Amino acid sequence: MPDLDFKIVGVEPAVHGLTPLLHFKLQVTNVPATETVEAVTLHAQIQFQSAQRAYNAQEQERLSDLFGTPDRWGQTLRNRFWAHSNTMVRTFAGTTEAVLPVQCTYDLNVTATKYFYALEEGDVSLLFLFSGTVFYAAADGRLQVQQISWNKECVYRMPAGLWREMMEQHYPNSAWLYLQRDSFERLYAYKRRHGLTTWEQTIEQLLPELDKEVLA
């Protein structure tokens, strides 16, 4: 009966991805090594472990949107969901490798995006929780099915700069802002009313008023 273990051994952005996509390199090991695993349908839930690193002053200020002020972090700084990923592991014996693809977004309303955007340095501790189905042959040759144990997991520390570099490659010197339609219509009307040609001009014209409110 197979007993699988999982380990993330690397990560890199997809070379020709049309949208931001990370490929996590997954090592899969079976015991006993002489047994042939016919296939594995694998699912991973990925969480970022926010309490497993330190944050500089700039990062703390940006993360207040997620966790509140640092004096509250003893209660609020906890694991947060990032993404789901699925892959198929082909026939192997002993050890093999597969790729876990993770689609990324630059939508700053998404919790994980806010977190990654706030980081300037260091690593991000990622927790991978695995589930799925293992197909293997019994001693008599009949195909058997087994569920992956609920306690199969691993931790991988990803450089925080990797996410930033990938987003910069896809969206050079840009950021995305999602607005409810009624807010967008008000902003769009302001842009037309003042004869502004770009959204950057529109925001820049509004920012001095916001700066006055901050200083007041």
Q: Consecutive 10-residue runs of the chain (216 residues): their mean pLDDT?
A: 94 88 97 91 97 94 92 93 96 96 92 94 96 90 90 96 93 83 90 87 80 54
Whether the bond between 101 and the residue before it is cis, its omega within 30 degrees of 0, is: no
CA distances (Å), origin 15, targets 20, 43, 169, 173, 175: 10, 23, 11, 20, 21
Q: What is the pTM for the complete model shown? A: 0.86
CA dist., res. 70 & res. 76, Å (int): 9
- Residue 46: predicted pLDDT: 98
Beta bridge partners of 134: 40, 146
- Residue 206: predicted pLDDT: 84
> Structure tokens of 142?
């009949």
C-alpha of 90 from chain center: 25
Could you write out the DSSP letters of every residue in 35-81?
A: SEEEEEEEEEEEEE-GGGS---HHHHHHHHHHH-SGGGHHHH---EE
